[in-house]
């Protein structure tokens, strides 16, 4: 007996779904109806989509599927309510995603890969190896599952979880199209941020495709030599090339870039480092996001608060807009650089 291959609706953009339904003999507007139920109402069961005819719901149930990751574990920080989710994918691989609570918004930190190829010295994800890229529905599924858990709408989406988003570019772009579609999630482009370690060619493509989406650059060093020591990707796209790409990106989009700078004790946290960074970024349309190193089982250490504040003050005095990222989720290994692949099973 031949098994029917179910069609995955949450792996389609609205346009793809409309075309598919039309070619299958259905009305195009069915796509918008399903988009509303799935992405705005968080209803994943076709039988509960009550404005669809009974016959159509039955056909959907027989031929279509909405595949979502399985929630294996949820950890909530008693300190700030940061919530980390461990999701299992259908092939048994796992990913982690995080909800961050702010006074006026909730931010979802999303993964784009199982693991990461880049192996940055300060990041646990790369140390756990790389398995594969996430499919579009696996990226979107993280948001759907987390939104189902909370009464308030997730306000911001940041692609800053496991993996390098620009190394899964096609599925990243497709996910953003679903997120920003008014008949699906309906997020503003400005409510979405993508962080890259500096995949220069994709930065230029992204500038043309999504000029309104916030771009964050994981810089983490004031010069080529130091960046080489902690970020292997720098050998492919050197520091100077990345800085020029940032200038080109701003010229195309007219948008400010967020520069992420992980402060590591006795490595990149001195006044000399701050002066060099200010010299490189001077005149550029950026704001620097300072991140004191989070523990990742390495020999690297976090600098003192006094050192961090001095570094921030030096940049600000020299005309560089700078913010100190408020620490969230460190107690549950949910902070920047702490997400990793975990071995798990259904009984956990």
- 336 assigned to active site: yes
Residues in CB range of 1: below 8 A, 6 or more apart? none
- 109 assigned to active site: no
Whole-number Å distance between alpha carbons of 184 and 130 = 31
With 0-12 CB in 10 A as exposed, 13-18 as middle and 19+ as buried, what is 20? middle
DSSP 257: E
Closest CA to 268 of 150, 74, 120, 157: 120
Question: Which two structure tokens, joined as six digits, stand for 38?
Answer: 């799935």
Catalytic option among 18, 22, 96, 149: 96
Catalytic option among 109, 120, 123, 336: 336
Whole-number Å distance between alpha carbons of 129 and 184 = 34
Closest CA to 120 of 276, 4, 233: 233
- Sequential DSSP letters for 266-325: TTS-SHHHHHHHHHHHTTSSEEEEEEEPPP-SSS--PPPHHHHHHHHHHHHHTT--EEEP
The residues annotated with a catalytic role in the active site are: 96, 336
């Amino acid at each position: 007996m031949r098994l029917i291959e179910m069609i995955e609706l949450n792996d389609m953009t609205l346009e793809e779904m409309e075309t598919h339904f039309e070619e299958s003999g259905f009305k195009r507007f069915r796509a918008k109806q399903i988009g509303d139920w799935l992405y705005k109402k968080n209803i994943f069961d076709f039988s509960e989509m009550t404005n669809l005819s009974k016959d159509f719901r039955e056909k959907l149930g027989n031929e279509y599927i909405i595949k979502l990751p399985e929630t294996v574990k949820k950890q909530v920080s008693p300190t700030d309510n940061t919530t980390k989710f461990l999701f299992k994918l259908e092939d048994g691989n796992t990913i982690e995603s995080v909800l961050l609570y702010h006074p006026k918004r909730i931010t979802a930190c999303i993964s784009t890969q199982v693991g990461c190829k880049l192996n940055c010295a300060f990041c646990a994800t790369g140390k756990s190896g790389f398995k594969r890229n996430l499919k579009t529905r696996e990226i979107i599924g993280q948001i759907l599952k987390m939104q189902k858990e909370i009464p308030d709408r997730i306000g911001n989406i940041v692609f800053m979880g496991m993996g390098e988003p620009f190394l899964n570019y096609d599925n990243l772009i497709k996910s953003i199209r679903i997120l920003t579609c008014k008949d699906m999630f309906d997020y503003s482009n400005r409510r979405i941020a993508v962080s890259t370690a500096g995949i220069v060619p994709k930065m230029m493509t992204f500038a043309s495709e999504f000029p309104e989406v916030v771009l964050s650059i994981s810089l983490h060093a004031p010069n080529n030599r130091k960046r080489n020591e902690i970020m292997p990707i720098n050998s492919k796209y050197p520091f100077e090339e990345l800085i020029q790409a940032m200038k080109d990106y701003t010229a195309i989009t007219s948008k400010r870039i967020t520069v992420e700078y992980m402060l590591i004790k006795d490595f990149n946290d001195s006044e000399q480092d701050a002066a060099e960074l200010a010299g490189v970024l001077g005149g550029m349309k950026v704001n620097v996001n300072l991140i004191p190193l989070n523990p990742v089982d390495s020999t690297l250490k976090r600098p003192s608060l006094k050192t961090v504040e001095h570094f921030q003050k030096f940049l600000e005095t020299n005309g560089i807009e700078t913010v100190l990222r408020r620490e969230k989720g460190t107690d549950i290994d949910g902070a920047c650089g702490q997400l990793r692949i975990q071995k798990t099973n259904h009984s956990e």
